[in-house]
Amino acid sequence: MNEWLLIIGMMVVTFLPRYIPIALADRFRIHPLLRQALEFVPIAVLTGIISQASLIHDGEFHLAFDNAYLYGLVAAFITAWFTKHTFKTVAVGLIAYSIAFVLI
């Protein structure tokens, strides 16, 4: 496999979706409905990544008490709910995960 061909290809398909909308910003206007939809993008995408990364392991659904991710996820959720603070959420979530990981 040609590694550098892969990197160039990945660079193109990564950069263009990030840049084209910003580049053409002055030539197009966004429909209000589209703008409203965009407000939901971070919530939708990030939550999908959260659930897949914490409950799917090696392609299998893994909802069980021996899944250390579950403890990290629940601890992070509770912390985020009460503190609304990203850094505290990360700290508490990582500590809960580490404890569960060591004990399981």
Partner 1 sequence: MNQKLNLFFQGARDIIPLLVAAAPFGVVYGALAQANGLSVFATLGMSLFVFAGSSQFVAATLIGAGAAVPIIILTVFVVNLRHMLYAVSLMPIVSKIPQKLRALMGFLLTDEAYATLSSRLVHEPKFPNFHIYYLGAGFGMYATWQCCTILGIILGQEIPDLTKWGLDIAMVVAFVGIVVPILKNKAQWACAITAFFAALVTHSWPHQSGLLISSLVAIAVGVLLSKNKNEAGDHE
Site for partner 1 in 43-82 (CB under 8 A): 43-56, 59, 61, 68-69, 72-73, 76-77, 79-81
Give min distance, CB of 19 to partner 1, in A.
3
Q: What's the rounded Cα separation, in Å, for the pair 34 and 16?
A: 20
Q: Are 96 and 71 in contact (CB under 8 A)?
A: yes
Please count the residues of this chain forming the interface with partner 1, following the rule CB under 8 A: 74
Count of alpha carbons within 13 angstroms of residue 82, beta-carbon side? 8
Does 13 interact with partner 1 (rule: CB under 8 A)? yes
Give min distance, CB of 103 to partner 1, in A.
14
Does 99 interact with partner 1 (rule: CB under 8 A)? no
| Cα–Cα separations (whole angstroms), residue 10 to 3, 7, 15, 22, 24 | 11, 5, 8, 19, 22
Residue 98 amino acid letter: S
Nearer to partner 1, 64 or 84 (CB): 84
Give min distance, CB of 17 to partner 1, in A.
4
Q: Which residues contact 73 (CB under 8 A, 6 or more apart)?
A: 50, 54, 93
Per-residue contact track with partner 1, 18 to 47, x per CB under 8 A? xxxxxxxxx-x-x-xxxxxxxxxxxxxxxx
